[in-house]
């Protein structure tokens, strides 16, 4: 039985979908920061958001709250991971530039 009704589960599913799409399109925007495993995690996240939207109406309040906490934790950890990837890339470029400057 599929019973889709607009509620907090749809809102959470849309938030996860937006986060997953940002991760997926990171490859086009900043290819130096993207990793190959991002496509795998984007697929898993999209599947999770679809399941949450379709079957989330069954969640009682405490389970819905646990899903909110999990989604917030995953999105914050993902944001920090991408930010740190950019920082590592920037540091590697700076180190490479310094090495070429000293060798000339």
pLDDT in tens, 2-56: 667 788 999 999 999 999 999 999 999 998 888 989 999 999 999 999 999 988 8
Cα torsion 92, 98, 103, 104 to 10°: value is 120
pLDDT of residue 104: 61
SS3 of residue 68 by DSSP: helix
Prediction pTM value: 0.81
Q: How many CB atoms lie within 10 A of CB 93?
A: 11
Assign 75 a pLDDT band (cuts: 50, 70, 90): very high
Residue given tokens 């995953």 in the structure block: 74
| 3-state SS, one letter per residue, for 41-72 | HHHHHHHHHHHHHHHHHHCCHHHHHHHHHHHH
């Amino acid at each position: 039985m599929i019973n889709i009704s607009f509620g907090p589960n749809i809102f959470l599913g849309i938030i996860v979908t937006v986060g997953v799409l940002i991760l997926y399109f990171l490859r086009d925007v900043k290819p130096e920061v993207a990793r190959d495993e991002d496509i795998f995690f984007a697929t898993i996240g999209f599947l999770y958001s679809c399941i949450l939207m379709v079957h989330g109406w069954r969640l009682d309040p405490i389970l819905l709250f646990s899903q909110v906490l999990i989604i917030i934790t995953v999105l914050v950890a993902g944001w920090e991971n991408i930010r740190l990837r950019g920082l590592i890339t920037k540091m590697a470029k700076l180190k490479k530039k310094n090495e070429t400057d000293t060798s000339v």
